[in-house]
Amino acid sequence: MITLITNQSGKCGWSRIEWLNSFSGRKVPEVKDPEERGFDAEFLLNEAKRAGTFAYVPYSLFPVGAAILFEDGSVISGCNVENSSYGLSICAERNAMTTAVREGRLKPVAIAIAGGSKGKICPPCGACRQFLSEFNSDMSVVLEEDGRPVIYRLSDLLPLQFKFPKIGETKNDE
């Protein structure tokens, strides 16, 4: 027996966010107005696309680029870099953020991620969501779906982040 799953509008196939919502039992809210977050989402998405052109992906052929906007207005980008020992590969998001740390930028406000099949959303993996939440769990995450930028909050994509207190912090300090 084959069960055909359709989305709420009756079409076959779901967006990644619809798919996530269908299993989690919760709604991941999209930020409706990109201007609400105070940055140019299309510019940031284009920077991510440009970074993705430098990806080293001889195994998956799945290039991804990321561009992170910081409080001071600077943008740092990164791309995924694969290794034949797959566990040693690095995602574009972590590549960009580790470069930012090296440059002393620790306060990201938004990240754009672009990659994969044209028109399909390319969300950050779970490891990148957790990694980025260390720096700002409320940052905006800009993705492209059907040729337009869509914006989510990282805290909505990772509702229960792991957070270990830093030395000197107590639960009351949070």
The two tokens of residue 17 are 């966010």
Closest CA relative to residue 123, chosen from 154, 146, 87: 154
Closest CA relative to residue 111, chosen from 15, 44, 61: 44
Instruction: Write down the H helix ranges in 3-162.
Output: 16-24, 41-52, 92-102, 126-133, 154-157
Contacts of residue 132, Cβ cutoff 8 Å, sequence gap at least 6? 93, 97, 108, 111, 124, 139, 154
Q: How far apart are CA 70 and CA 67, in angstroms?
A: 10
When pLDDT is cut at 50, 70 and 90, the band that residue 33 belongs to is low
CATH class of 16-159: alpha beta
When the pLDDT of each residue in the chain is averaged and rounded to a whole number, the result is: 83
When pLDDT is cut at 50, 70 and 90, the band that residue 25 belongs to is very low
Looking at this protein, which amino acid is placed at residue 67? A
Domain layout of the chain by residue ranges: 16-159
Which active-site residues does the annotation give? 93
When pLDDT is cut at 50, 70 and 90, the band that residue 117 belongs to is confident
